[in-house]
Amino acid sequence: MISASQGRLQDRAPVSVVDIGSNSVRLVIYEGISRSPTVLFNEKLLVGLGRGLAISGKLDREATERALAALRRFRALSEQAGSTALHVIATAAAREAQNGPEFISHAEELLGVEIKVLTGREEAHYSAFGVISGFHPADGIAGDLGGGSLELVNVHGREIGAGITLPLGGLRLHEMSRGSPAKAREIAKSEISRAGLLKNGKGRTFYAVGGTWRNLARLHMNSTGYPLAVMHHYEMDVAESASFLKRVADGDIDKIKGINQVSKNRRGLLPDGAIVLREILSAMKPSRIVVSALGVREGFLYSLLSFQDQSIDPLLSASEELAVLQSRSPTHAREVADWTGTAFAAFGMEETENEARYRRAACLLADIGWRAHPEYRGSQSLSIIAYASFIGVDHPGRVYISLANLFRYEGVPDESRLPEISRLASSRLIKRARLLGGLLRVAYLFSASMPDVVPQLGWKEKADGRLQLVLPAKLAHLDGARPRGRVSQLAKISGREIELVVSGN
């Protein structure tokens, strides 16, 4: 009888992070500290610690009681999950309130660990780390909108520039403006004018971090009928979204399609979030708005990695992990990834760095659906990949990886039968997904999903332009009608004449 879980990586020890924010307290238990961390457990409670802080200068008494009760539960949950470490960070409300030290002292007693109360500079630094960890690579201005403050910081690759903290958190702005959109705009405009670093963001990306902006983006996603409900790396065109942001900033949100999918607790802060975002866009003039699902917590976790581990590709790391957990042979998956790179070169398909990464990820994930019913392996693989909590990949890249795996199982359909998410990818990516799917269909028939065969399948171009897939003589017994049929299908997909030959014949 199997007693240990086979659905978790055996080289990981759970780690807990508690985030005490101005609006919410949250516990996230991660499978372990890794380049692409997986969440074992996640619980959030909106307690509103910072409610009234702008006026009274103190944390709300009832809110602190709710927060302390939640923290007591968080410690028990962390211990129940077997966490080897409990890290606790606190942000704007706790550091600015007159009674903040008293609250932190009580919280430390309950949690049994020291709480790291972040300075504004530290909060901006960890927010930047969160964005850096989630994009490949990051280049622009990261903005983390919390309940009590807004952190803005320049990011370029793994470099973090100077940052600034502004008192523009959603709760604080709502209270300072007393709910008046006109007053909120006046305050936001004045504060944003102090952020000189935004001028360095012209034509670059603005990375929107924080729950209010994620909900704002989700509303935009719903209102436009966007076909892929994944928040990380969701992009909003600056010009196209202008009327939407103005409508939300004016408070006209009740009739926007999809508003019911935003929690009532979050709706009240959407106008303030839109107001701040509009002022940032006006001052920065970015090329695009990109949503980051990673922020201070993930940035803090990223900071615990070695410099070498920080440089690991998060998409390929996560794909490798899924191959270990769900494929028949991770070694075979790696072999296929290498082989398809050679095959693309043989077909004259040049790849950008990201296209090569996406192709490799698709190959690592090409066998994760093998336990499903044969008729649904393709659709299940597509669904798992499209909606996985991957980082380091944009939405067109998700579509490429997903389609390649759909085609690997179901063949390559004509344009009219492509799934709806296909419209997010360029014709170039779809063409590559078709070729990759065709190659996967060939490789798996020769290998039976086991290692050592695929690396021996070679490509040779004849003088007349024909391609030959060369099967070594010692593997001649793997030749047959079905693999030859798949090679013929590959020829149709690629538009190249291909023949299967056994070396020595």
pLDDT one-digit tens code per residue, 478-490: 999 999 999 999 9
pLDDT of 321 reads 97
Per-residue pLDDT, averaged over 365-377, amounts to 96
**Partner residues linked to 18 by β-bridges:** 27, 88
pLDDT one-digit tens code per residue, 254-265: 899 999 888 887
Q: Where in the chain is the domain with CATH 3.30.420.40?
A: 15-117
Beta strands in 332-485 (DSSP E): 458-461, 467-471
Per-residue pLDDT, averaged over 415-432, amounts to 94
pLDDT one-digit tens code per residue, 89-117: 999 999 999 999 999 999 999 999 999 99
pLDDT of 505 reads 60
Between CA 363 and CA 360 the distance in angstroms is 5
Q: Which residue has the tokens 């909606």?
A: 387
pLDDT of 138 reads 96
Per-residue pLDDT, averaged over 419-441, amounts to 97
pLDDT one-digit tens code per residue, 448-457: 999 999 999 9
pLDDT one-digit tens code per residue, 172-225: 999 999 989 999 999 999 999 999 999 999 999 999 999 999 999 999 999 999
Per-residue pLDDT, averaged over 430-441, amounts to 97
Could you tell me the pLDDT band of residue 162, with boundaries at 50, 70 and 90?
confident
Q: Report DSSP state, residue 16.
A: E
- Assess whether pLDDT exceeds 60 at residue 1: no
Per-residue pLDDT, averaged over 5-23, amounts to 91
Per-residue pLDDT, averaged over 149-161, amounts to 95
pLDDT of 381 reads 97
pLDDT one-digit tens code per residue, 393-405: 999 999 999 999 9
Write out the DSSP string of 90-134: E-HHHHHSTTHHHHHHHHHHHHSS--EE--HHHHHHHHHHHHHHH
- The distance of Cα 222 from the centroid of its chain, to the nearest Å, equals 19
- The distance of Cα 382 from the centroid of its chain, to the nearest Å, equals 17
Q: Report DSSP state, residue 23.
A: S
Q: Which residues of 261-296 are buried (b: 16+ CB within 10 A; e: fewer)?
A: ebeeebeebbbbbbbbbbbbbebbebeebbbbbbbb
Q: Name the residue type at position 302.
A: Y
486 closest CA partner among 421, 437, 438? 438
Count CA within 13 A, CB hemisphere, residue 159.
Answer: 7
pLDDT of 266 reads 83
Helix (H, G, I), strand (E, B) or coil at 416: helix
pLDDT of 476 reads 96
pLDDT one-digit tens code per residue, 336-362: 999 999 999 999 999 999 999 999 999
168 closest CA partner among 238, 92, 241, 219? 92
- Assess whether pLDDT exceeds 70 at residue 496: yes
Q: Which residue has the tokens 């080897």?
A: 84
pLDDT of 4 reads 60
Q: Where in the chain is the domain with CATH 1.10.3210.10?
A: 314-454
Sheet holding 24-30, edge to edge: 39-46, 24-30, 15-20, 85-90, 116-117
pLDDT of 54 reads 86
- The distance of Cα 80 from the centroid of its chain, to the nearest Å, equals 27
Please give the CATH number for the structural domain made up of 121-299.
3.30.420.150
> Above pLDDT 90, what percent of the chain?
92
Cis peptide before 137 (omega within 30 of 0): yes
Between CA 155 and CA 133 the distance in angstroms is 11
Helix or strand run (H / E) with residue 355: helix 353-364
pLDDT of 41 reads 97
Burial of 398 (0-12, 13-18, 19+ CB in 10 A): buried
Contacts 24+ apart (CB under 8 A), 409-418: 409/369, 409/377, 409/378, 409/381, 410/378, 410/379, 411/437, 411/441, 411/489, 412/437, 412/438, 412/489, 412/493
Please give the CATH number for the structural domain made up of 15-117.
3.30.420.40
Whether residue 142 contacts residue 126, with contact meaning beta carbons closer than 8 Å, is answered with no
Please give the CATH number for the structural domain made up of 314-454.
1.10.3210.10
Q: Where in the chain is the domain with CATH 3.30.420.150?
A: 121-299
Helix (H, G, I), strand (E, B) or coil at 461: strand
Per-residue pLDDT, averaged over 216-235, amounts to 96
pLDDT one-digit tens code per residue, 118-152: 999 999 999 999 999 999 999 999 999 999 999 99
Per-residue pLDDT, averaged over 390-415, amounts to 95
**Partner residues linked to 159 by β-bridges:** 156
pLDDT of 2 reads 45
pLDDT one-digit tens code per residue, 25-50: 999 999 999 999 999 999 999 999 99
Say how many Å lie between the first and final Cα of the chain, rounded: 51
pLDDT of 5 reads 66
What mean pLDDT value characterizes the chain? 95
Sheet holding 498-502, edge to edge: 458-461, 467-471, 498-502
